[in-house]
Amino acid sequence: MGYEIDFLPVGEGERSGDAIALRFGDLHGDRTEQFVMVVDGGTKKSGEKLIEHVKKHYSTDAVDLVISTHPDNDHISGLTAVLEELTVGRLWMHLPWNHSTDFRALFKDKRFTSIGLKERIRKALDAASEVEEIAKKKGIPIDEPFSDAKLPAAKIEESGDGDVTDGSSGG
Task: Find the helix or strand (DSSP H, E) in which 45 lies.
Answer: helix 44-58
Class of the CATH domain delimited by 2-149: alpha beta
Closest CA to 41 of 8, 75, 15: 75
Between CA 145 and CA 69 the distance in angstroms is: 9
In the chain, where the domains are located: 2-149
Measured CA distances, 157 to 26, 37, 54, 152, 164 (Å)? 12, 16, 23, 15, 16
Return the pLDDT at 158: 40
Backbone angles phi, psi at 91, to 5 degrees: -125, 130
> Among the listed ranges 3-7, 130-134, 138-142, 167-171, which one has the minimum average pLDDT value?
167-171
Between CA 171 and CA 166 the distance in angstroms is: 8
pLDDT digits (tens, 9 = 90+) for 46-95: 899 999 999 999 999 999 999 999 998 888 999 999 999 999 999 999 99
Which of residues 138 and 113 earns the better pLDDT score?
138
pLDDT (average), residues 103-123 = 86
Work out the pLDDT band at 134, boundaries 50, 70, 90. very high
Closest CA to 91 of 42, 38, 52: 38
pLDDT digits (tens, 9 = 90+) for 10-59: 776 556 668 899 999 999 989 999 999 999 999 888 899 999 999 999 99
Return the pLDDT at 164: 38
**Phi/psi-derived region of residue 25, left when phi > 0, alpha when psi is between -120 and 50, beta in every other case:** left
pLDDT digits (tens, 9 = 90+) for 144-170: 987 676 766 544 444 444 443 333 334
SS3 (DSSP) at 57: helix
Exposure string for 127-140, b = 16+ CB within 10 A, e = fewer: bbbbbbebbeeeeb
pLDDT (average), residues 121-143 = 96
